[in-house]
Amino acid sequence: GQNIDQPTEMTATEGAIVQINCTYQTSGFNGLFWYQQHAGEAPTFLSYNVLDGLEEKGRFSSFLSRSKGYSYLLLKELQMKDSASYLCAVMDSNYQLIWGAGTKLIIKP
């Protein structure tokens, strides 16, 4: 079966760095996406990785290792507005997204 695993909840301090991990087992792989979802709102696109390595975009970076079925999202210089859920999704061989349950990130002052 297809499976995406990520921690349910994480807590971090304002100004710090946090790494959110995602492991996956899917039928085929056409890239991995990270989305941010604030409570009561729609998911919004953060990053896309299809090749191994690190993609950096401002305070956010995303890493992929296809051989390990592993990705992480790295958030630097945390701000209170980063409190949200972070969703990991893998595009399978049918070009459909398989979603993890999301990681709720709580930022404390």
Q: Over the range 10-28, which residues count as b (16 or more CB within 10 Å of their CB) and which as e? A: bebeeeeebebebbbebee
Q: Give the number of other Cβ atoms within 10 Å of residue 37's Cβ.
A: 15
Measured from the Cβ of residue 91, the count of other Cβ atoms closer than 10 Å reads: 18
Based on the shown chain and the rule CB under 8 A, indicate whether residue 45 belongs to the binding site for another protein. yes
Identify residues 55-74 at the interface with another protein (CB under 8 A).
none
Among 20, 22, 75, 89, binds another protein (CB under 8 A): 89
Residue type, position 88, single letter: C
106 binds another protein (CB under 8 A): no
Q: Is residue 42 near another protein by the rule CB under 8 A?
A: yes
Binding another protein (rule: CB under 8 A), the pick from 26, 100, 105, 107 is 100
Binding site for another protein (CB under 8 A): 4, 30-31, 33, 41-45, 48, 50, 87, 89, 91, 95-102
